[in-house]
Amino acid sequence: MDRPSPDPRAHRAPFVSRLGPVTLGVLGASATVVTFGPKEPLAAAGIAVLFGFAATVSEWSARARAHSMAEQMAAAHVETVDPESGMLNGRMFRDILEREIARSIRYGDRAALAIFEVTTANFRPSRPGEKPPSYGEHVAQVFARIARRSDVVLRLDTNRFAVVLSECDRDGAALFVYRMRTQLSMGAYARNDDGSSIYARAIGGCVQWAPEFTDARSYVDAAFADLERNRREIQSEEARFRAHPNSPREGKVA
């Protein structure tokens, strides 16, 4: 969704608010010196100093407010964005879902939710307790290629991700899950110390929004239920392949 162009006056507002007190201080000090200087130089100097002091305090106060605002914006960014992948994090998940549910209820929009659980494959630790390299950046790059600009991608925790798909039905969401799983595992995202490849693997589930999903919890539960169904299908297919390695695969798992 395109954002409206910012009002150029908004960029000038902090500067103007800081320039006003300083200008008034200089003018006040100058007027005091001109008016009272010849008759009462000490009083004029004292009043001029007060004007200058007031202008200085105003400038310090403006700088402190600007610094505080910058710190608040940085803190809000840290609280809502995953630093590794650049995705929104789980703190935003409920708010985004509830907003999408409200819009679907009001306008009857088609929407869907996809959930992914990512793990590593072929990781070979070279020392006890070694953990596999994080795949957050790799997952973000794959999402950037597949997701549309209108979709909202979130990292819920270390290994779970969610995508809120706008104008998308169940079939479109299932296709998105299949493409994501395929693209994610096509290339290595890191290598072991011996040079062998480390891959990311994902299991996904999805659900199209329906009127019975009136809150985020029911919507999310339905998506995770589909993920678990797909997990069982994948595990069953892998078991059949291990039992009969030369038989052709049957069907395609989303």
The 10s digit of each residue's pLDDT in 184-225 is 999 999 999 999 999 999 999 999 999 999 999 999 999 999
Task: Check: pTM over 0.75? Answer yes or no.
Answer: no
Considering the chain, what percentage of its residues have pLDDT values greater than 90? 56
Can you give the pLDDT at residue 13?
44
Can you give the pLDDT at residue 205?
97
Question: What does the alpha-carbon distance between residue 252 and residue 254 come to, in Å, rounded to a whole number?
Answer: 6
Beta strands, E only, the chain = 88-89, 111-121, 152-155, 160-166, 190-191, 197-208
Per residue in 187-204, is it b (16+ CB within 10 Å) or e — as a string? eebeebeeeeebbbebbb
Looking at per-residue pLDDT, the higher value among 139 and 59 belongs to 139
Residue 77, pLDDT above cutoff 70: no
**Cβ count near 173 (within 10 Å):** 26
Q: Could you report the per-residue pLDDT of 35-73, keeping only the tens digit for each?
A: 555 556 655 555 555 656 655 655 555 454 444 434 433
Can you give the pLDDT at residue 230?
96
Can you give the pLDDT at residue 43?
56
Can you give the pLDDT at residue 45?
57
Q: What stretches of 125-215 show up as alpha helix (H) in DSSP? A: 136-146, 170-185
CA distances from 193 to 19, 119, 129 (A): 59, 19, 15
Q: Could you report the per-residue pLDDT of 81-132, keeping only the tens digit for each?
A: 999 999 999 998 999 999 999 999 888 888 999 999 999 999 999 999 999 9
Chain-centroid distance, C-alpha 170: 25
Q: Are the C-beta atoms of residues 85 and 137 closer than 8 Å to each other? A: yes
Question: What does the alpha-carbon distance between residue 52 and residue 63 come to, in Å, rounded to a whole number?
Answer: 17
- At CA 74, angle to CA 71 and CA 76, rounded to 5? 110
Residue 4, pLDDT above cutoff 90: no
Helices (H) and strands (E) in the chain, counts: 6, 6
